[in-house]
Amino acid sequence: MNNLVEIKQLVFQHDNGRTLFKSIDITIPRGKVTAIMGPSGTGKTTLLRLIGGQLLPSQGQILVDGQSVPDLSRDELYQLRMRMGMLFQNSGLFTHLNVFDNVAFPLREHTPLSAAMIHSLVLMKLEMVGLRGAGQLMPSALSGGMARRVALARAIALDPELIMYDEPFTGQDPISLGVLTKLVRTLNDALGLTSVIVSHDVQETLAIADYVYIIAGGEVLAHGTPDDIKDNQSSNLQQFIKGLPDGPVPFHYAAIPLAEDLLRATPC
């Protein structure tokens, strides 16, 4: 099977009745870096949570390696998650553990390896992200970029098949951005991973992705290689890629005309 993740006719509605996805079809091929992009609030993070089984879809199918995620039992879901890694937007590092123990956490929980073996593995993972020397630091002492790299080392600790990145580039300085972009691509190729990046950082994501999905308004707006996306002349897509302040997605939130609003305004 060439596709590790297959999402078919996915519909997702929040408890408050808001429909986030109307009908979405996405396939994530093995060994590739697939980017899912779209404006803020379109449900990109929700999509990752649906793939990871943290949320259940209202309708449709989510298959990971042929297994239907919503239909898995609790134990089967936890078995499947051991083959996944996820990098959270806030890193999600345990604040009471130092960097070394954070990376060692999944190894200690899921493997019977000796302390010496875990020590070696953690050092290797930290070396991959360039933070072997930061093992004894607490998460509060790390910069945002360093915290993401530690979280990345922890996400790959169990050598997963699938790794999901939730907004990995948001709020990073140019150096951290460069390091993270290189790491995502290098780790994918060196470890034979399948990567899913959810992001709205257009240039960085298009530079490393093999295939791109753009979602907006609860639907897939476009998909293709980064070049296909750049060449697509759809006004919606061009506004998003070029970061134009006004276009099909209006600058102004829907409201009555300004003059009418001013005239009927009552003092607070």
Closest to another protein by CB, 103 or 216: 103
In the complex, minimum distance from the CB of residue 129 to another protein, in angstroms, rounded to a whole number: 16
**DSSP-based three-state secondary structure for 35:** strand
Residue with Cβ nearer another protein (3 or 89): 89
Number of residues that bind another protein (CB under 8 A): 25
Q: Is 162 left (phi over 0), alpha (psi -120 to 50) or beta?
A: beta
Told to check if 214 binds another protein by CB under 8 A, we report: no
Closer residue to another protein, CB minimum distance, 79 or 120: 79
72 token code pair: 């898995």
CB 4 within 8 A of CB 65: yes
Q: Which residues contact 67 (CB under 8 A, 6 or more apart)?
A: 76, 80
75 burial type by CB count under 10 A (0-12 exposed, 13-18 middle, 19+ buried):
exposed
Q: For the segment 118-157, give every residue that binds another protein (CB under 8 A).
A: 151, 154
Asked if 214 and 24 count as a contact pair (C-beta separation under 8 A), the reply is: no
- Of 56, 58, 94, 189, the residue at the interface with another protein (CB under 8 A) is 94
Total residues found in the chain within this entry: 268
Shortest CB 137 distance to another protein, Å: 17
Of positions 32, 105, 238, 241, contacts another protein by CB under 8 A: 105
- Based on DSSP, count helices (H) and strands (E) in the chain, helices before strands: 10, 10
**Sole window of 106-114, 120-128, 221-229, 236-244 interacting with another protein (rule: CB under 8 A):** 106-114
SS3 string, 206-235, reads HHHCCEEEEEECCEEEEEECHHHHHHCCCH
CB of 108 to another protein, least distance (A): 8
Kindly identify the residues of this chain, within the stretch 32-91, that bind another protein according to CB under 8 A.
Answer: 49, 52, 54, 78-79, 81-82, 84-86, 88-91
What is the binding site for another protein (CB under 8 A)?
49, 52, 54, 78-79, 81-82, 84-86, 88-95, 105-106, 109-110, 151, 154, 158
